[in-house]
Amino acid sequence: MELYMSLAIGVLFTVGVYLILSKSLLRIILGTSFITHGVHLLLLTMSRLKTGAAPLLGEQAESYVDPLPQALILTSIVISFGVTSFFIVLAYKAYQKLGTDDMEQLRGEQNE
């Protein structure tokens, strides 16, 4: 399973980076979400998958999966959500003000 997950993470990263390198602002923000998903799955995969029950002690299981990466991912989800929502609004305001979402046109002045 880890092998296939690693491949899927690679796909997520490829798609994310490809989107980030494009011209449209919307694609770039979507690209960051893909990379975020890739990172979260990577964190989870690195701690080995399915080694036991969910980390709820009420389960009375023999073994549990590693709870620490889950805590880290949870923090990360929230932070990336905050950042993404900020970016979305920023992109929206930038479009309103500048009238374009083409990154090549958002280069700023020459010789500033």
Site for another protein in 1-60 (CB under 8 A): 1-27, 29-30, 33-34, 37-38, 40-42, 44-58
**Binding of another protein by 62 (CB under 8 A):** no
Burial class (CB in 10 A: 0-12, 13-18, 19+), 4: exposed
Distances (CA, A) of 39 to 4, 17, 112: 15, 13, 36
Residues between 80 and 109 that touch another protein (CB under 8 A): 81-86, 88-93, 95-97, 101, 103-104, 106-108
